[in-house]
Each structure stands twice: as C-alpha cells, then as structure tokens.
Amino acid sequence: MSHLPRHSSQRVLAQAAPTLSAHHASPRHSVATPPALRTRQLTRRFGAHTALSNVDLAVHAGEILAVLGPNGAGKTTLLRLLTSLVEPTDGSIEVLGRPAAGTRRQRVQTPVGFVPSGDRTFYLRLSGRENLRFFARMHGMRGAAARRRSDELLDIVGLAQVADQAVGRYSHGMQKRLSVARGLLVRPPVLLVDEATHDLDPAGGALIRDLIKTIASDGTAVLWATQRLEELSGFADAVLVLVDGRVRHHGPFEDLLRRAPARRYILTLGDRPDQSTLRHAAASAARVDVLPGPHPRVLLELHPDAVLGHAICAISNAGNEVVACREERSEVLQAFLRVTEARQR
Amino acid sequence: MSVGSDHPVTRPAGEIAKLAAMLRRDFRIALSYRTAFIADIVNIAAQIVMFGFIGRLVDPRLLPTYGSSRATYMGFVAIGIAVTALMTVGTGRMTTAIRGEQMTGTLEMLLLTPTRLSTLQLGWIVYDLLYVPVRTAGFLILVTALFGVRFAVSGIVPASALLLAFVPFVWGIGAGSAGAMLTFRRGGGIFGYATMALAFLSGAYVPLDIFPTWVAGLQDLNPVAATLDGLRRALIGGGGWAAVAPHVNVVLPVSACVFLLGIGVFRIALRRELRAGSVGQY
C-alpha cells in the first residue's frame, strides 16, 4: 500500500511541476520538433533467436508511449537496449537527435532515466535519502547539488517524511516511487519505465501513474512498458504493441481502440427472455444473444457508435427487467488481442 | 567495439568523489551490520588464542632466524595471518561485491551511471583496503601485548613498501576471480581455496623447511612466499631496505603481470556480459 494519502500526493505532485521544468521548454511536441527518443530498425538477436526486429519508434517531449506485448514479446529487451545495458545487433537509437547507439560513452552524453521493473534495486540497509545521494554522486553530481536534488526529488515523489528510513522497510509502492526519483536525478529528457505498477495495489499504481503523468506534462518523454491494459485509458498518448519482437501497432491510443471489435456486455435479466423479441427490440443499437445456463443472462454486442443506455432502454421497454450489466471484456483488451492475434491469421 | 571505448567521459576529480561515495556507502552498510562487526573482533581473538596454543607445541629451534633474531612462533605466524587476511579480502572482496550488487539489483544501476569500470573496481574494495590495515594493526598490537612479540620499528617502512608492491598481485587475482564469477556465475569459491592453499604453501603458518624440497624450491618465483619472507626479515630481523629489495624485485614484476591480466580478464568478462545483456543475472 502506498505510504502517502491520495490528496497529499496530489498536492505534492502539484508542487512538483515547476521544480521539474528545469530544462524542458515545451510540454507538448509540435510536428516540427524532433522526437526526444527515436529508434530506427532497432534489432537485437541472441544467437539464433531474434528478440527484437526492426523496431522503429518515436517519443516526443511530453508524450507517454505505452509499450504493450505478451510475455517474451521483447518489451524488456527494448528498454534494456535503450538504456544500453544491452547492445543492439543492428539499428540506431537517438536521444534529442543525437546518436546513442548503446555504448556507455554515448549514453553518458545523452542520458536517459530508467525505472527498472524489479523492486530490489537499492541498498536496503541505507535510507532512501542515502540511496538517492549515492546515485546522484555516481552520476557525477557535486555534494551540495546531489543533496539538493535528492531532497527535492524525495519531496516530489512524496517520500520526504520517510527519507531517513532504511529502504528495506519501504513498501513496494514506496520503493517504486524512490526508483522514479532516481530515474529523474539527472533531469533526463527521456524516462524509461519498465512494468512499474505490476506488483502494486490499485491505489499505489494510480499514484505512480499520476507521478509519471506530471513528469510527462512537464516535458519529459516517457516510454512506459506494461502488461496492465486497464491503466492506459487517460494515461498513454500513444501505444506500441510488440509481438515476437516485431511492432504490430504504433500510433495514438485512440487508433488502437478503433481496432477493438464491438463492445460486449452481459446483462442479467429478471426472467428468462424470449430471444426473438429481445433481438427485435434492441436491433437498432445492438445484437443480442441469450446465454445458456441456469440464469437469465444475455450477451449484448453494441453496434459501432451505439449507446449502451439506448440498448438497455430498448430491452427494458420490451418488458424485461434489467437486473445487472457488466462489460464482458475491456475494449483495450479486445483491441490488444486483435492486434496480437493478427500474427496467427 | 573495443574495451577501451567503454570509458565514459569523466573527470578524474569526479571519479575520486565517486570512490568517496562508494566508501561512505560501504561504511554505512558495515555500520548497520553490528553483529558482523563484533563477529570479526571475536574472530581475531579466536585466531590469537588458537595460534597461541599451537605456538606452545612448536619447537622454537625449527623456526627460521632473521638477521640475528630467531623468530617466535607467534611473531612468525602473526605476519602470515596478516598477509593471508589481506589476500582473502583482496581476492574475495570484488567477487563478493559484484555478487552482492547482482543480488540487490544495483549492479546494472551502477553501470548506468557515467562511472569508469576501474573506479567501480576500486570502489568495490576501497572500504576493505582501509579496514584491513586497521584490522591487521589491531591484530598485531594484540599479539604484541599478549605474547610479548617485538617487531622492529626500523622495518615498518620497508615492509610497507613491500606490501604496496604485493597489493596489485592480490587485486589482479581478485579481478580475475570476479571476471570468472561474471562468466560462470558460480565457482568463485575455487579462487578462495586456491588463495588459502597458496598462502599455506608459501609458509604463512609454518616454516617452508618442513615442506618437501620440491615445494620449497618453487618459492623463489612465488610472490606470496617472497612477500612473507621479506616482511619477516624486515619486521622480525630488523633488516632495512637492503633486506627487502631482493623481494621487491621478485614481487613487483609478477604483481604487475597478474594485475594487468586480472583487470583484462575482468573487462573482457564484463564486456561479454554487457553484449549478451546478462550482466545483472545471477
């Protein structure tokens, strides 16, 4: 569970915005602005296995690009290539238009922040403040600057109150926030976040997303690898779907949603209905099928641009009591499945 | 890409500041493990007691003479223990440190910083490089106080110079061991056993005269044996620079070769792991 109360985190995040803007000019990119992060034909092979193949992507300042994909799709390999923990077999990486082809020397000249997926990436016997100051020093910051920046970031991520506590006593959520703080130490133009919310409770996940959203709105380009589809709505600006190391979809989040099949809902009715009557009543808004089983349930598949309320009204007006309604599967999940399953067709 | 191009562009002063940060980190971590600290003091005391009793069994006539002084067993073995401790720390510490960083997931985080590999290598052992001499001095003071062992003050500076020439040898083995650990993940213990065997066969605990002649014959090229003999000549026999110089001549070239070889092995291993993307795995 996150340490910080929700209202408190929002206050802290609101205070953070001006602090974060030290080097970013504009929060949203224009068409003429080159991307903060770009890859061209990025490829990584491990022996005979191709983990990533010809990946082209671009993330602009202030943009959040969500990287989706099933297990083994190449998400982590992509992030490790971008941090240069792994060297590319082929292709190029550019940060702010400068090549960062994966060597340590090049990376130093074009730093990116990295929030790894593991929750054990700190010295657990040291406090959060000591950890941040240590990594700040290792990034080459002078003593006073390292102290100032660490304290500033602890405040931003809402850990100032527990800054002197050993990290080993932090919750998952607190460690994750500390990890975000570490990723921002050098004010990177690009922040890479690997599965930051996968082991967090909903409130903890929301807190991290709020934090990342604030960071992005201040001009940092964020690449967010995740398996949690439900967190993308209202969060990600664009989506990149990887399947078997290849890009299946790269574009605005709305474009992905357009690939979703019809929205489907399961209605529980008061009595077992007559299928033909139901179909006739709801025909203008949805297709209706009575589901087998002991309970009176129907599957409602909305037509494009149809409104769920209209369909339910029509069914209700035809003399059926609608007791409950739930979405069969999220449309993001459906779109994701459609994109990832395309390889099999 | 060559290994050389792996150096981030950094200032020497900045690298020294990073060493200080790593030293501070390890000191803070060591302070947090109070039990381990106490256990180490108990270990020193146990060694002194154990070798004190063993010393009663040893016939003083079997011990070598340095200069005009015949060594006591405690004086003889105290120097052996001090050198063995240095070897154990120097050869094992880097492996332990890298292993620890892998386990805590901090190794990759460190590699993401613009820090030279040589800075990291030194940073992983810098705390021990300071702690071990303090520990050794404490050990020798205790031996002096409890067993009346007298070390020649005039031999301290030449002995320190010889130790300084010996340190790269230890560090080289440590770096090679760390490289092997990065590549094979396991088996770092082999280097530990080999170090202990080397120290034993070099006369750390017993005079070389009691070994078979062919073992004693190998000691002319053995830097550990040369270091031990030189230190004893300086500290027990009171021989000055003249007594130590021939030993420095043996130790220094071997140290330099082993150091370069060890560092090379480590860098190749690290480059290989970075290329494979498996540096953080354990």
**Sequence-ordered list of residues with C-beta below 8 angstroms from that of A208, at least 6 positions apart, any chain:** A173, A176, A177, A180, A196, A197, A200
B103 lies in which domain range? 9-276
Cβ atoms within 10 Å of B132's Cβ, excluding its own = 18
Q: How many Å lie between the alpha carbon of B112 and the closest alpha carbon of chain A?
A: 7
Instruction: Specify if B2 maps to a domain.
Output: no
Domain count, chain B: 1
Q: Could B25 and A130 be called an inter-chain contact, meaning their C-beta atoms sit closer than 8 Å?
A: yes
A122 touches chain B (CB under 8 A): yes
| Contact (Cβ atoms closer than 8 angstroms) between residue B75 and residue B151 | yes
Which residues of chain B are at the A interface, by a Cβ-Cβ cutoff of 8 Å? Answer: 1, 5-11, 14, 17-18, 20-22, 24-25, 28-29, 32-33, 104-106, 108-115, 274-277, 279-280
Distance CA A115, CA A224 (A): 10
Residue range B54-100, pLDDT digits in tens:
888 888 888 888 877 788 888 898 899 888 888 887 788 888 888 88
| Residue A239 pLDDT | 92
Given a cut of 90, whether residue B177 has pLDDT beyond it is: no
* Chain A CB contacts of B11 below 8 Å: 140
Instruction: Go through the domains of chain A in sequence order and give each one's CATH number.
Output: 6-258 (3.40.50.300), 264-329 (3.30.70.100)
Å from B92 to nearest chain A CA?
20
pLDDT of residue A271: 85
Degrees, nearest 5: CA angle A237-A243-A246:
85
Which pLDDT score, from 0 to 100, does residue B205 have?
86
Residues sharing a CB contact under 8 Å with residue A125, sequence separation 6 or more, in sequence order: A166, A167, A168, B28, B29, B32, B33
Q: Which of A152, A77, A85, A149 is nearest to A112 (CA)?
A: A85
Asked if B109 lies within 8 A of A135 by C-beta distance, the reply is yes
* Separation of alpha carbons B158 and A29, rounded Å: 67
Q: How many CB atoms within 10 Å of residue A294?
A: 6
Please give the residue that has the higher pLDDT: either A8 or A315.
A315
Closest CA to A335 of A219, A217, A253: A253
Distance from the Cα of B5 to chain A's closest Cα (Å) equals 7
Yes or no, beta carbons of B115 and A124 under 8 Å apart: no
Cα-only R_g, chain B = 20
This model of the complex carries an ipTM of: 0.79
The yes-or-no verdict on residue A110 having pLDDT over 60 is no
In a domain, B96, yes or no: yes
DSSP code for A292: P
End-to-end CA separation in angstroms for chain B: 25
Q: In this structure, is residue B4 part of a structural domain?
A: no
pLDDT, one tens digit per residue, over A259-282 is 766 678 888 888 888 888 888 888
Contacts of A180 in chain B (CB under 8 A): none
Q: With CB atoms and an 8 Å threshold, state whether B32 touches A125.
A: yes
Contact B192, B91 (CB under 8 A): yes
Tens-place pLDDT, residues B113-143:
888 888 888 898 888 888 888 888 888 888 8
Mean pLDDT of A336-344: 64
Q: Residue A216 carries which side chain, given as an amino acid letter?
A: A
Q: How far apart are CA A179 and CA A114, in angstroms?
A: 8
Looking at every residue in chain A, the average pLDDT score rounds to: 81
Give mean pLDDT, residues A1-19. Answer: 42
Task: Say yes or no for a CB contact (<8 Å) between A123 and B25.
Answer: yes
| Closest listed residue to residue A36, CA positions, set A181, A213, A218, A206 | A218
Q: Please say whether the dihedral angle defined by the alpha carbons of residues A150, A155, A161 and A165, taken in this order, is positive or negative.
A: negative
Q: Shortest Cα distance from B23 to chain A (angstroms)?
A: 10
Give the tens place of pLDDT for each residue, A175-208.
Answer: 989 999 999 998 899 999 998 887 777 777 888 8
Cα A212 to Cα A223: distance, rounded to the nearest angstrom = 10
Chain B interface includes A105 (CB < 8 A): yes
Give the pLDDT score at B179.
87
User: What is the distance between the alpha carbons of residues A97 and A274, in angstroms, rounded to a whole number?
Assistant: 63
Contact A125, B100 (CB under 8 A): no
